[in-house]
Amino acid sequence: MIFQERTVPRDGLEKILRVLDSDEGVRIDNESNHIFVNKTSKRYCIDISTNNKDEFIYKNSAEEVIDFLKSHMNESSKIVAY
């Protein structure tokens, strides 16, 4: 199995979240933390990792995830799908 990452433009994030499979995810690299978004069969899991401490937040839709991420991303954030 080949592991591939691809950079996602900010305006393409919601589309990627809508079609996310259970073995895929999104990583957002910020200056002070990393955010990982995965999807189970029922909801999205957002893991905010700061200084080796993780905080988990759960959302029910891609729209809720996007709304949440707006306050956790900035212009220098790098978005990667894997």
Q: What angle do CA 7, 13, 15 make, to 5 degrees?
A: 115
* pLDDT at res. 4: 84
Tell me what the pLDDT averaged over the chain comes to: 94
Percent of the chain with pLDDT over 70: 96
**What are 79's strand-pairing partners?**
28
Q: Convert the pLDDT of each residue in 13-70 to its tens digit.
A: 999 999 999 999 999 999 999 999 999 989 999 999 999 999 999 999 999 999 999 9
Place 1 in a pLDDT band, splitting at 50, 70 and 90.
Answer: low
Asked whether the CA dihedral 52, 58, 59, 64 is positive or negative, the reply is: negative
Which has the closest alpha carbon to 78: 20, 13, 2? 13
Ordered strands of the 34-39 beta sheet = 6-7, 78-81, 25-29, 34-39, 44-50, 53-59
Q: Whole-prediction pTM value?
A: 0.91
- Cα–Cα distance, 26 to 48 (Å, whole number): 12
Domain layout of the chain by residue ranges = 6-81
Q: Convert the pLDDT of each residue in 37-53 to its tens digit.
A: 999 989 999 999 999 99
